[in-house]
């Protein structure tokens, strides 16, 4: 039987309380893959193809905190394209403070790097990902991706890494991040990448915001895959905001 999770009112929490509630395990020995999503209460992952319509103040607050705590933000190319991803812009003073307290962050206050997962290296070298000032983007791609595209992304400033033959495997992703010294991993989706990670049994944690709205339509759910992999998870906390937003954190039991 699962322990009852902590059910907390957001108004009772300070910013430091939230940092503690979302802290990664101390000094993870290998990459810890945390996934973050927001969903409507009827399961939609976007409104008109973007997730922004689901965001609430509480979700945005936790979204920022999760980036502040991470070494790297991993995202599928579909999401990077749909959401026009740029560099992560985090609080440099907070990142320094987190580093000094052993919670991640960065000694110099640098933001986490963005790592885009793409089988085909189909990214626009002139997109925000490469032009937004910030840390150099990492492109996790495959041996099969066209060489000219990989060369163009390298020329645009990306660090191109092959992490699989025809798709980026969970093992390839972990190895690449481990070699870069990045163990506090924040995956911001999307559904196809999350589905692949679930099926590969590579997800250590899910932070899921339930946004208090119904959407209907033909929007996707948070994980999609041709295969299913039922994976029991343990609830670590539920945080309620006054507008009805529920912030949840779920951890895979063997990683507790």
Ligand X SMILES: NC(=O)c1ccc[n+]([C@@H]2O[C@H](COP(=O)([O-])OP(=O)(O)OC[C@H]3O[C@@H](n4cnc5c(N)ncnc54)[C@H](OP(=O)(O)O)[C@@H]3O)[C@@H](O)[C@H]2O)c1
Backbone angles phi, psi at 147, to 5 degrees: -60, -35
DSSP for residue 167: S
Among 13, 21, 23, 82, binds ligand X (CB under 6 A): 82
CA dist., res. 43 & res. 149, Å (int): 35
Query: How far are the Cα atoms of 121, 138, 161 from residue 129, in angstroms, in the given order?
Result: 13, 10, 16
> By rule CB under 6 A, what string of x and - marks binding of each residue 166-195 to ligand X?
-xx-------------------xxxxxx--
Among 33, 35, 38, 74, binds ligand X (CB under 6 A): 38
Piece of 21-29, 92-100, 112-120, 237-245 that binds ligand X (CB under 6 A): 112-120
Given the complex with ligand X, which of 106 and 204 has the nearer CB atom?
204
| 202 interacts with ligand X by CB under 6 A | no
| 33 interacts with ligand X by CB under 6 A | no
Positive/negative CA dihedral, 4, 200, 77, 225: negative
| 161 interacts with ligand X by CB under 6 A | no
| 105 interacts with ligand X by CB under 6 A | no
CA dist., res. 147 & res. 241, Å (int): 48
Piece of 24-32, 113-121, 148-156, 235-243 that binds ligand X (CB under 6 A): 113-121
| 83 interacts with ligand X by CB under 6 A | yes
Given the complex with ligand X, which of 77 and 182 has the nearer CB atom?
77
Given the complex with ligand X, which of 122 and 127 has the nearer CB atom?
122
117's enclosing H/E stretch is strand 113-117
Given the complex with ligand X, which of 112 and 191 has the nearer CB atom?
191
| 213 interacts with ligand X by CB under 6 A | no
Using alpha carbons, select from 213, 227, 225, 236 the residue that is nearest to residue 34: 236
CA dist., res. 249 & res. 36, Å (int): 9
| 122 interacts with ligand X by CB under 6 A | yes
Q: How far is the CB of 201 from ligand X (least distance, A)?
A: 14
Question: Which class for 88: exposed (0-12), middle (13-18), buried (19 or more C-beta within 10 A)?
Answer: buried
Piece of 17-25, 48-56, 99-107, 179-187 that binds ligand X (CB under 6 A): 48-56
Burial 185-224 (b: 16+ CB within 10 A, else e): bbbbbbbbbbbbbbbbebbbbbbbbbbeeebeeebbebbe
| 154 interacts with ligand X by CB under 6 A | no
Given the complex with ligand X, which of 56 and 79 has the nearer CB atom?
79
> What residues make contact with ligand X under the rule CB under 6 A?
37-38, 45-46, 49-51, 54, 76-79, 82-83, 117-120, 122, 167-168, 188-193, 196
């Amino acid at each position: 039987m699962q322990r009852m999770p902590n059910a907390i009112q957001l108004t009772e929490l300070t910013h430091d309380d939230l940092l503690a509630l979302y802290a990664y395990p101390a000094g993870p020995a290998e990459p810890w893959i945390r996934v973050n999503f927001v969903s409507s209460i009827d399961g939609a992952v976007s409104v008109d193809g973007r997730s922004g319509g689901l965001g609430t103040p509480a979700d945005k607050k936790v979204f920022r905190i999760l980036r502040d705590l991470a070494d790297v933000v991993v995202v599928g190319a579909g999401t990077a394209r749909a959401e026009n991803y740029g560099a992560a812009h985090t609080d440099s003073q907070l990142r320094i403070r987190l580093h000094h307290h052993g919670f991640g962050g960065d000694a110099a206050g640098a933001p986490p790097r963005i790592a885009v997962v793409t089988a085909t290296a189909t990214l626009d070298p002139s997109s925000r990902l490469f032009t937004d000032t910030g840390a150099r983007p990492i492109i996790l791609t495959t041996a099969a991706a066209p060489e000219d595209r990989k060369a163009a992304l390298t020329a645009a400033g990306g660090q191109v890494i092959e992490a699989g033959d025809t798709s980026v495997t969970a093992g390839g992703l972990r190895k690449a991040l481990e070699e870069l010294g990045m163990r506090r991993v924040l995956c911001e989706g999307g559904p196809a990448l999350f589905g692949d990670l679930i099926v590969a049994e590579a997800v250590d944690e899910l932070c899921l915001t339930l946004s208090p709205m119904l959407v209907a339509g033909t929007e996707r759910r948070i994980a999609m895959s041709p295969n299913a992999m039922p994976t029991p998870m343990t609830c670590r906390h539920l945080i309620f905001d006054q507008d009805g937003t529920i912030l949840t954190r779920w951890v895979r039991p063997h990683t507790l």
